Amino acid sequence: MPATTKTNFQLVSNGILNDNPIFRLALSMCPAVGISTTVMNGIMLGIAVLFVQVFSSCTIALIKDYIHPRIRIPTYTLTIATWVTVIDLVLAAYMPAAYKEMGIFVKLIVAFAIITMRLEVFACKNSVPSSFWDGIGMGLGFMAGMVVIGFVRELLGMGTILGHDVLGFRPLLFFVLPAAGFFCVGIMMAMFNYMELVYNRKKRAKER
Amino acid sequence: MKILGRKFIFLNILVIISLFLIGGCKPEHRFVKKTAFKDTNKIVIEFAGPVDEAWAKNRSNYTACEKPDPDIRLKIIDVSLSADKKKATLVFADDLNKNQPHVVTATKISSEGKSLGTAILNVKKFYLGYLFSILIGAMIINNFVFTKYLGLCVFFGVSQKKSTAVGMGITFTLVIVASAMMSWFIYQFVLRPYRLDFLQIVVFIGLVSLSVQAVDTILRKVNPLLFKAFGVYLVLVIANCIIIAVPLILADNEYNAWESLMLSLGAGLGFLIALFLMSSVRERLELANVPPTYRGLPIAFVLAGLFALSFLGFSGMSIF
State the pLDDT confidence band at B276, using cuts at 50, 70 and 90: very high
* Cβ–Cβ gap B294/A33 under 8 Å: no
State the pLDDT confidence band at B281, using cuts at 50, 70 and 90: very high
Of the candidates B134, B144, B117, the residue with the CA atom closest to the CA atom of residue B28: B117
Q: Tell me, yes or no, if B198 comes closer than 8 A to chain A by beta carbon.
A: yes
* Cβ–Cβ gap B308/A178 under 8 Å: yes
Residue B74 DSSP symbol: P
Residue B51 Cα, gap to closest chain A Cα (Å): 39
Q: Tell me, yes or no, if B285 comes closer than 8 A to chain A by beta carbon.
A: no
Mutating which of A85, A87, A100, A193 best tests the B interface, going by the most B Cβ atoms within 10 A?
A193
User: How many whole angstroms separate alpha carbon A71 and alpha carbon A118?
Assistant: 17
Residue-level pLDDT at A52: 92
What is the percentage of chain B residues whose pLDDT exceeds 70? 88
Binding-site residues on chain A for chain B (CB distance < 8 A): 26-30, 33-34, 74, 77-78, 81-82, 84-85, 88-89, 104, 107-108, 110-113, 177-183, 185-187, 189-191, 193-194, 197
Residue-level pLDDT at B27: 45
Nearest to A33 among B149, B198, B300 (CB): B149
Classify residue B192 as left (phi > 0), alpha (psi -120 to 50) or beta. alpha
Chain B residues with CB under 8 Å of A33 CB are 149, 152
State the pLDDT confidence band at B3, using cuts at 50, 70 and 90: low
State the pLDDT confidence band at B320, using cuts at 50, 70 and 90: low
User: How many whole angstroms separate alpha carbon A40 and alpha carbon A149?
Assistant: 11
For the stretch B24-52, pLDDT in tens is 444 456 677 777 777 777 888 888 777 87
Of the candidates B235, B174, B75, B305, the residue with the CA atom closest to the CA atom of residue A177: B305
Residue B293 Cα, gap to closest chain A Cα (Å): 5
For the stretch A44-75, pLDDT in tens is 888 999 999 999 999 999 988 888 888 888 88
Stretch B259-286: mean pLDDT = 92
Residue-level pLDDT at B269: 94
State the pLDDT confidence band at A4, using cuts at 50, 70 and 90: low
* Cβ–Cβ gap B308/A182 under 8 Å: yes
Mean pLDDT of chain B: 81
For the stretch B226-245, pLDDT in tens is 788 777 777 778 778 888 88
Mean pLDDT of chain A: 84
β-partners of residue B65 are B73, B103
Chain B residues with CB under 8 Å of A191 CB are 293
* Cβ–Cβ gap B201/A197 under 8 Å: no
Which comes out higher in pLDDT, residue B248 or B58?
B248
State the pLDDT confidence band at B7, using cuts at 50, 70 and 90: low
User: How many whole angstroms separate alpha carbon B139 and alpha carbon B134?
Assistant: 8
Name the E strands within chain B: 32-38, 42-47, 62-66, 69-73, 76-81, 87-92, 102-106, 110-111, 114-115, 119-123
- What is the CA angle A137-A29-B270, rounded to 5? 155
For the stretch B72-116, pLDDT in tens is 777 888 888 887 777 888 888 877 777 677 788 877 777 777 777
Which comes out higher in pLDDT, residue B37 or B135?
B135
Residue B32 DSSP symbol: E
Among the ranges given (A166-170, A185-189, B267-271), the one the predictor scored with the smallest mean pLDDT: A166-170
Report the b/e string of A12-25 with b at 16+ CB within 10 A: bbbbbeebbbbbeb
State the pLDDT confidence band at B22, using cuts at 50, 70 and 90: low
Tell me if residue B80 falls in helix, strand or coil: strand
Classify residue A127 as left (phi > 0), alpha (psi -120 to 50) or beta. beta
Residue B61 Cα, gap to closest chain A Cα (Å): 30
Nearest to A85 among B150, B201, B241 (CB): B201
Stretch A174-201: mean pLDDT = 85
Q: Tell me, yes or no, if B104 comes closer than 8 A to chain A by beta carbon.
A: no
Chain A residues with CB under 8 Å of B148 CB are 34
User: How many whole angstroms separate alpha carbon B81 and alpha carbon B79?
Assistant: 7
Domain residue ranges of chain A, discontinuous segments joined by +: 8-207
Residue B72 DSSP symbol: E
What is the percentage of chain A residues whose pLDDT exceeds 70? 98
Residue B153 Cα, gap to closest chain A Cα (Å): 6
For the stretch A114-154, pLDDT in tens is 888 888 888 888 888 888 998 899 899 889 888 888 888 88
Stretch B252-263: mean pLDDT = 87
